[in-house]
Structure 1
Amino acid sequence: MELRHLRYFVAVAETGSLTEAAEHRLFTSQPSLSRQIRDLEEEVGSPLLIRSARGVDLTDAGRAFLDHARMALSQVEAAVEAARRASQPTKPTLALGFLTGTEMTWLPRAMQVLRDELQGIEVTVSSDYSPDLADALARGKLDAAFLRTEAGFGLEYRIVRREPLVVLMPSDHPLALRERIRPEDFDGEVFVATSNKAKVLQAVTRAYLQKAGIAFEREHNVDNLAGAMSLVASTRGLALMPAYAMNLLPWSVVSRPLDGEVPMIDLAVGYNKTNASPVLKRFLERLDELADDGHARLV
């Protein structure tokens, strides 16, 4: 089995089309791609795809194979990235990633942890969606990231904070007069929900809504905090978001805490255990110092 077989299979699985994958992802001919997929299926010993006029779907074997194929490709990329870094005897680096919006709180704390090493290392910083940060960690593009505990990437996580969800609403919404929002206050309201791009937050939110028996008029989906705030203001809807959102609210949106049992979501420092960076090792050894200000607690 060759790496190209894995790349081809992942491309077809993600696009749902042999033609789309061939023309726009792999830049090869569709007949050639079909042959490669057949060769892979013969080697695996089981059909991986169901072909139809609408495209392709994964078989049960294909779904099981997809996760491992992605992980194998990620590990190869991580190995290449590690070799490239090792071949360049330059200043040691630490690539940090942040779930967009969290860098305002956690970047200064991370720099404080590294204060004794800052003159000797080069720190790069980026912000992104949590799943994209996890993917970058798996591929060796980042050394550590502040993100959700994303499954399926083979990463290690150390939780640095458990954060409550709060209700976002237009600043002139009638519910803004309340000190706390009860589950029944959602009845009949427009709800702004998170999309599959934020799977961890989506799961926490859905679990709370189902347990509380909350009914709402209609739902809008959004995949980032900025989009959620915009939709809250424009649709006059409600949204459940982590409490760090309170630091980023425009004048048109306010937040209120929930009454009763409040759903919580974890923020973690994630890293790839195969990453042998000595700078990462020192950072992880001093991670407990992030809790020194009393606002965070490692669990």
Structure 2
Amino acid sequence: MEDLLATPARVYVAGHRGLVGAAVTRCLMSHGHEPLGLTRSELDLRDAGATAAVLRETRPDAVVLAAARVGGIMANSSHPVPFIEDNLRIQLSVISAAHAAGVRRLLFLGSSCIYPRLAPQPIREEALLTGPLEPTNEPYALAKIAGIVQVRSYRRQYGTSYICAMPTNIYGPGDNFDLESSHVLPALIRRFHEAKRDGLDEVVLWGSGAPRREFLHVDDLAEACVTLLRRYDDDMPVNVGCGEDLTIRQLARQVGEIVGYRGRITFDATKPDGTPRKLLDVSRMTALGWKPRIPLREGIASTYAAWLSGAGKSQ
């Protein structure tokens, strides 16, 4: 199979300080490539002119668009405007700037939330735009769908070798543990850690606990990104996940065991559940020779340990 990313390649990672971007940067270096990136204070990716100037100056061989405004149900529900506007601006800015600078390869990272709320399980890539979205994250999902269509449009009009990946729920060291804006897994880690610290007898969680979710360690996603840059060139997005899921109730129990919380875990069913299930069909990804290597329990334990060694020390 032809390698579409010659080694060494200079790869601009938009969002290189974030959870995914940092893992992709580490992975690129381990494969002999040269990752590039600027911090948010150095470059606002929503600024199309400044972004175009940076890519014109650096002339990377490839771009990985990992920068995004992200968050859980609470953040999406409370602040829908930045979830659609910031993501649209970032995508329009980076993708158009990459093309203007003559960048040969680009990988746009979307999300499994782009699929219809009640899509057949496991979800195949062809399910995109076949039904209504989950209302709690519709603005974010629509922005990501627009990014997919933008990439497809550049391929169609200019023949660019740009591709899209749709990861499942990602977690790992460096995750966001802020309870107002984090995703479910880091939020559970922090909730149970603080409950253990404070000697609480009960932790009450949002929703019924019945929705099923799939989780992938960020280092496995990073390996998938490099595999896609090297081996994939098609306008169909590619799902990236582990192909297995569990209920939020099962996840909570597992996180509680790892953290060492021994109290009761109850659920407030008056709060939203979100999409009932989001299990991805990952056959297109595994056909490229990639598969995840980090089991969920091991990944949760290492993520908790990393958080404790950093910000969690003061908690």
TM-score of the superposition, structure 2-length normalised? 0.26
Instruction: Decide which structure has the larger Cα Rg and report it.
Output: 1
TM-score (norm 1): 0.27
